[in-house]
Amino acid sequence: MSGFKVIQPGLFTLIQDAGRYGHHRIGLTTGGPLDANAFKWANRLLGNPLNCSILEVSIGGLVLEAEVSTYLVVTGAAMPLKINGQEQDRWHSHRVKPGDRIELGFSTQGARAYLAVSGGFRVAPRFGSSATVTREGIGGLCNGNKLQQGDYLPCNEQTTNKAFRLPEKHRPEYSDDISLRVITGYQQQAFSDADKRMFFSSEYKVTDRADRMGYRLAGPEVKPSIDGILSEGICHGAIQIPADGQPIVLLNDRQTIGGYPKIGSMISLDTARIAQLLPGAKVHFEEITIDDAHNLHCLAQAKFERTAMEALE
């Protein structure tokens, strides 16, 4: 068996593929990468299919030892990458060989980095996906566990791969003061015009209750005219307002159904950005139409496909 040995698992490192779909009906959530953009780039920079299993590293502190010859790339948050003690460029694929020590330090900007290898890690899918959902105990190497010291990450040997790098000008910046686009929907009628105006013109802060289930924010209270609703399906990015009037943006590991009123939903391009924020960061909301949201999504997809990578070697 070839692969990588986990010397230090980091604070919170999870195996993720693009997510688990089609099983909401038995209560399984989506899982998958919080920052889908950095995730897709990690796979693309290795010429992988875009659904390959890779590591989502939150905050940092990961150390691996290679027992295989392959290529490796790190995208997402600015966690300094060292291979055998030498600092290396991120968004840039590197050849590694058995015995190499790969270190990801703590992030200086952003919260989630993605580490991928050629062909992805070989992880048996559960319900069609390797995505780790710790709350459900499903996915990853075993029972939804986060990465542990001593784990082994199996992957195939790959010595003839093409290596690529993404030019600096195309790499995202992770600011801690951002504007997030929201489509009003769901129970928006339960919110007064004054409350909606306040929601879309105020500053909110990311609290320390921010995780893969959702980001709880703090700021001016928004009060819907109803307390609760008959429990209903919650989509990715939905912004739920519980009784305390403080918004929660629901992310990949959210409950599939719930009974709090929702003012609308954040677009996925921006859930990827909010998930890069740490407690204390500032956010604003900007209202856009569903048509704008569709256009932005399609544009981003076209841009992703057309952005040229630089070939190496």
Partner 1 sequence: MMQIEVAGENALIVYFGEKTAPSVSAKVQQAVSLLESELADKLIDLVPSYASLLVIYDLLACDHLEIKSTLRQLLGQLDNTTQNTGALITLPAYYSPESGPDLQDLAQRTGHSVGEVIQIHSQMEYRVYAIGFAPGFAYLGEVDPRIAAPRLSTPRQKVPKGAVAIADQQTAVYPAVSPGGWNLIGLCPTPMFDPDKSPTMPVQVGDRVRFKPINRDQYLELGGQL
What is the contact surface with partner 1 in residues (CB under 8 A)?
21-28, 126-127, 135-138, 183-186, 230-238, 255-258, 262, 264-268, 290-291, 293-294, 297-298, 301
C-alpha pair distances (Å), 118 with each of 57, 68, 155: 18, 11, 8
Select 159 or 179, whichever has its Cβ closest to partner 1.
Answer: 179
DSSP 129: B
Determine the Cα–Cα distance for residues 45 and 56; give it in Å rounded to an integer: 16
Min. distance of Cβ 173 from partner 1 in angstroms? 23
Cβ closest to partner 1, residue 138 vs residue 241? 138
Instruction: Quote the longest CA-to-CA distance of the chain.
Output: 62
Of the pair 125, 280, the CB lying nearest partner 1 is at: 125
CB of 82 vs partner 1, minimal distance in Å? 38
User: Which residues are CB-neighbours of 104 under 8 A, at least 6 positions away?
Assistant: 10, 57, 60, 61, 62, 63, 74, 79, 80, 81, 113, 115
Phi, psi of 148 (to 5 degrees): -120, 155
Q: How far is the CB of 32 from partner 1 (least distance, A)?
A: 12
Closer by beta carbon to partner 1, 296 or else 312: 296
Kindly tell me which of 102 and 182 has the beta carbon lying closer to partner 1.
182
Of 146 and 236, nearer to partner 1 (C-beta) is 236
User: Cα separation of 245 and 147, whole Å?
Assistant: 35
CB 245 to partner 1: min, Å = 20
Supply the minimum distance, in Å, between the C-beta of residue 283 and partner 1: 18
CA atoms within 13 A on the CB side of 231: 4
* CB of 204 vs partner 1, minimal distance in Å: 19
> b/e for 297-312, b at 16 or more Cβ within 10 A?
eeeeeeeeeeeebeee
**Considering beta carbons, is residue 194 or 290 the nearer one to partner 1?**
290
Minimum Å gap between C-beta 36 and partner 1 is: 12
**Comparison of 168 and 193: residue with beta carbon closer to partner 1:** 193
Q: What SS3 state is found at 195? A: helix
CB 232 within 8 A of CB 261: no
CA 163 – CA 184 distance, rounded (Å): 42
Least distance from partner 1 to the Cβ atom of residue 308, Å: 21
Q: Among 112, 123, 96, 129, which Cα is nearest to 41's? A: 112
Rounded Cα distance, 239 and 214, in Å: 9
Backbone angles phi, psi at 212, to 5 degrees: -70, -20
